[in-house]
Amino acid sequence: MDRISLSGVTAVGHHGVFDFERREGQPFVVDAVLHLDFAQAAESDDVRDTAHYGEVAERIKDWITGEPLNLIEALAVRIADDLLASFTIEAVDITVHKPQAPIEVPFGDVAVSVHRARPQLATTNDAVRP
């Protein structure tokens, strides 16, 4: 499977369980890996035959800046589900980074990752025989 990687989509969001996180906001960074077949796009050389990464970035930014969620896990799943529904991709990996998470000890980053894929259709060879 071919891949498009989009790293470091950054925007200020208001996600978190604490009131001050929702009030003040903070940066969130999202990385996305889209799994798809490039065969048609390579043949046509037409952006309509692939997942337009500019549009993917805009959708990710809209989720970051959109309705606040308590958990970055919820944000990651919503982004993944939306990209699967909106683009002709077979699977997606999403990592949401919260580099300014309210943690009392020094740390470099907090991130969650999800993988979502389209359900595979059963073929006649996959069917269970009586």
Residues labelled catalytic: 98
| DSSP 8-state code for residue 101 | -
Structure tokens at 120: 């595979």
Give the residue among 66, 90, 70 at the shortest CA–CA distance from 80: 90
Alpha-carbon span 4 to 36, nearest angstrom: 8
Alpha-carbon span 130 to 116, nearest angstrom: 32
Evaluate whether 109 touches 96 at the Cβ level (below 8 Å): no
